[in-house]
Amino acid sequence: MQCAWCRRLFDGNEILEPPLDQLLPDASHGICPACHATLLEKRRESLRGTGDISAALDVERERLTLLLVVARRNYARLAARCVALEERTAIAVRHSREVLKAVRSRPRPLAAEDEAGDGVVSARHWPRRLKT
Ligand SMILES: [Zn+2]
Domain residue limits at 81: 2-105
29 part of a folded domain: yes
Q: CB burial class (10 A; 0-12, 13-18, 19+) of residue 132?
A: exposed
* Domain-embedded: residue 59: yes
The reported pLDDT for the residue numbered 128 is 64
Rounded to whole angstroms, the Cα distance separating 5 from 115 reads 75
Q: Measure 98 CA to ligand 1 centroid, in angstroms.
A: 49
Domain membership flag for residue 57: yes
Which of the listed ranges 8-17, 44-53, 72-81, 99-108 does the model predict with the highest average pLDDT?
44-53
Give me the mean pLDDT over the 105-121 stretch. Answer: 70
Q: How far does residue 9's CA lie from ligand 1's centre (Å)?
A: 8
Residue 113 Cα, ligand 1 centroid: separation in angstroms? 69
Q: What is the pLDDT of residue 122?
A: 72
- Asked if 24 and 3 touch (Cβ cutoff 8 Å), the reply is no
Total of domains in the chain = 1
Using CB atoms within 10 A of its CB, is residue 111 exposed (0-12), middle (13-18) or buried (19+)? exposed
Global pTM value:
0.63
pLDDT in tens, 33-56: 999 999 999 999 999 999 999 999
Nearest alpha-carbon partner for 25 in 49, 42, 2, 6: 2
- C-alpha 62 – ligand 1 centre gap (Å): 17
110 inside domain: no
CA-CA distance, 36 to 70, in Å (whole number)?
11
CA of 32 to the centre of ligand 1 (A): 4
User: Percentage of residues in the chain with pLDDT exceeding 90?
Assistant: 58
Distance 19 CA to ligand 1 centre (A): 8
